[in-house]
Amino acid sequence: MLSQEAIVFVNLHHQKMAMRKIQMVDLQSQYAFIREQVEAGMQEVLSSAQFINGPAVKSFQSNLEAYLGVKHVIPCANGTDALQVAMMGLGLQPGDEVITADFTFAATVEVIALLGLTPVLVDVDPVSFNISPQAIEKAITPKTKAIVPVHLFGQVADMDAIMAIAKKHNLYVIEDNAQGIGATHTDREGNKIKTGGIGHVGSTSFFRAALGFFLSATLRVSYMERKRVLVLGRPK
């Protein structure tokens, strides 16, 4: 038989449990861990009033370049814009076909369509849910200009196979790394490369926080800082 105190305790515990719903993504709890750092950082930006391309953006840019091991990170507004800028920067033209996965977030395909390019959706691998290299190869036509693999749910697409296909058919690879930032790919030679730095261009998203897009070391790039224009050369 439970004592009166024990019954009160159990009831309170159950009430507390009932009040706290389990979230699929618990942003509030995550934020609690970094609250002080985030708030101090935001306060610094607000006090300096340097919001656009200020020191905070520059340090984000160089930290991310070092973290990803890429030559250039170009911060912009969000992952959708990053994909758009990447495709525009590569000089893709209306009518060009861009192959991507039929299982991804809407933005991947929306941007292709917005630019008047033709999205060619191909199957994903039933185990990894990432784009199938065999399906890519079958979908290539003379109009194909680029492949957009998506590293879905943090899992790396089969980049060795995709890069080999791209090389064989002279295609660009734009990695949609919105869900994959921080993942590492080990290539056939055993080199470890962060996703986003494997293809010719990578885009990422910090999902409702901030974001950037970055260019891999294989791309010759000339960035006209003042005009915010990208001129990209053909990768080797």
Rg (alpha carbons) of the chain, rounded to whole number: 22
Assign 131 to helix, strand or coil.
strand
Task: List, in sequence order, every residue forming a beta bridge with 98; answer none if it has no partner.
Answer: 119, 146
How far, in Å, are 21, 27, 53, 76, 95 from residue 57 at the CA level?
36, 23, 5, 10, 35
**207 part of the interface to ligand PLP, by CB under 6 A:** yes
CB nearer to ligand PLP: give 205 or 216: 205
Window 177-196: contact mask with ligand PLP (x via CB under 6 A): -xx-----------------
107 binds ligand PLP (CB under 6 A): yes
Q: Does 60 bind ligand PLP (CB under 6 A)?
A: no
Binding test (CB under 6 A) with ligand PLP, winner from 132, 144, 195, 205: 205
Q: Which residues, numbered 146-175, are part of the site for ligand PLP (CB under 6 A)?
A: 150
Residue 210 near residue 227, CB atoms below 8 Å: no
Site string for ligand PLP, 64-103 (x = CB under 6 A): --------------xxx-----------------------
How much of the chain is in helix, strand and coil states, percent to nearest 5? 40, 20, 40
With CB under 6 A as the contact rule, the residue among 84, 100, 108, 216 that binds ligand PLP is 108
